[in-house]
Amino acid sequence: RRAVPPGRSRARSRGAAGAALLPSMLMFGVILASSGLLLMIERGILAQVGPPPPHPPAGLSRRDGRDSPAELELEVLRDTRNRTIRALCGQRSMPRSVWELPPGHRRTVLRHLLVSDKYRFLYCYVPKVACSNWKRVLKVLDGALESVDVKGKMDHMSDLVFLGDMKPEEISYRLKHYYKFIFVRNPVERLLSAYRNKFGEIKEYQQKYGVEIVRRYRKNGRNSAGDDVTFSEFLQYLLDEDVERMNEHWMPIYNLCQPCAVRYDFIGSYERLHADANHVLEHIQSPSFVRFPERQAWYKPVTAETLHYYLCNTPRRLIKELLPKYILDFFLFAYPLPNITSEFCRQ
């Protein structure tokens, strides 16, 4: 531990210590609040979440009484997310704005908020949650790209406006007055997608991360080119990694987008990607010719069977120990914990 230099007040050092302790304290509070989560993990009772309740919770109505089960389920999901976020973010210790975040946390979220001044919205991009396609949409809306169907490698930096590049007063104005949205995904599915893409296809990631992971967790792994990282080795690496230092492709969504400091107007789901994307495009009144892109032909989606295979062929200890790092993503966005019971894995 570094001593506080002379001249700095004790109050300031206490504030810094509080900021450093916030993630762990918050995680502990969420674990306590989520109905014995750790006990469920330890016993292998991992999320077989049943269907939504037959009637909407308080505050929801069927309107004309003709809502389909799917519409009702979606309404329940959104209500659950909204209530959970309000309950957690309403705690006194939680940040009320980006200016209350520690500097590193603030830099991360401002670096992930993309701006459209023309259509007055902010989009917090989350890697592995269709963010490349959303960036295409932003470029088309701003006139930098002719069509979302233009072929070629996606440039993730050029012709995009990042909130973090603006002055404080400009940031505050847009956070207060612009429409803000985010898209989320099942945390484990997102991790598997990142693993398959980065270590199975991207040489840069194999060399930068894969070589080190194999060297660290495998005996006689010094000769690896980083293209043979196992899923278990990847999860062990995540378990040992500081969340705030993680690569954005596997950093928890909570840390990337800070849903307590930034009050999002809409939370879309990867599972309802096109329907939710169309909702956003309608809300911002985008031109009729702008549509959300279709999935690329080369893209290999993570299916339920693929996820089942990887989870059930990974040491259960690793998954149980890693879950607390992503617990806020499960908890706030109403995703079930992965089922890794013996019975499920025998199926």
* Predicted confidence (pLDDT) per residue in 161-199, tens digit: 999 999 999 999 999 999 999 999 999 999 999 999 999
Asked if residue 336 and residue 232 are part of one domain, the reply reads no
Q: Which residues pair with 121 in a beta bridge?
A: 116, 179
Collapsing DSSP states into helix, strand and coil, what is residue 178? coil
Asked if residue 324 and residue 223 are part of one domain, the reply reads no
Structure tokens at 248: 């954005």
Note the pLDDT of residue 74. Answer: 86
Asked if residue 335 and residue 249 are part of one domain, the reply reads yes
Note the pLDDT of residue 75. Answer: 87
- 63 vs 88, which has greater pLDDT? 88
Number of independent structural domains in the chain: 2
Q: Which domain holds residue 324?
A: 71-193+238-346
DSSP H helices in the chain? 10-33, 37-43, 69-89, 103-112, 131-141, 168-177, 187-200, 203-205, 211-217, 231-240, 253-257, 273-283, 304-312, 316-322, 327-332, 342-346
- 79 vs 298, which has greater pLDDT? 79
**Model confidence at 42: pLDDT above 50:** no
Asked if residue 329 and residue 218 are part of one domain, the reply reads no
Please check whether residue 51 lies inside any domain of the structure: no
Helix (H) or strand (E) holding 182: strand 179-184
Asked if residue 285 and residue 308 are part of one domain, the reply reads yes
Please check whether residue 201 lies inside any domain of the structure: yes
The residue written with tokens 């469920």 in the block is 40
Please check whether residue 32 lies inside any domain of the structure: no
- Choosing from 206, 237, 268, the residue where a domain stops is 237
Asked if residue 226 and residue 84 are part of one domain, the reply reads no
Mean pLDDT of 115-128: 97
Report residue 258's pLDDT band, with 50, 70 and 90 as the boundaries.
Answer: very high
- Choosing from 207, 237, 267, the residue where a domain stops is 237
**Model confidence at 94: pLDDT above 70:** yes
Asked if residue 78 and residue 218 are part of one domain, the reply reads no
- Assess contact for 148 and 292: CB atoms under 8 A: yes
Asked if residue 250 and residue 171 are part of one domain, the reply reads yes
Asked if residue 86 and residue 213 are part of one domain, the reply reads no
Asked if residue 253 and residue 162 are part of one domain, the reply reads yes
- Choosing from 211, 237, 263, the residue where a domain stops is 237
Report the sign of the C-alpha dihedral through residues 199, 151, 277, 134, in that order: positive
DSSP state of 59: T
Asked if residue 339 and residue 225 are part of one domain, the reply reads no
Report residue 223's pLDDT band, with 50, 70 and 90 as the boundaries.
Answer: confident
Please check whether residue 179 lies inside any domain of the structure: yes
CA–CA gap between residue 166 and residue 333 (Å, rounded): 29
Measured at the CA of 77, the angle between CA 106 and CA 51, to 5 degrees, comes to: 140
Please check whether residue 259 lies inside any domain of the structure: yes
Please check whether residue 35 lies inside any domain of the structure: no
Please check whether residue 140 lies inside any domain of the structure: yes
Asked if residue 212 and residue 342 are part of one domain, the reply reads no
Note the pLDDT of residue 298. Answer: 65
Q: Mean of the per-residue pLDDT values for the chain?
A: 83
Q: What is the pLDDT of residues 43-64, one digit of tens each?
A: 443 333 333 333 344 444 444 5
Please check whether residue 150 lies inside any domain of the structure: yes
CA–CA gap between residue 220 and residue 270 (Å, rounded): 39
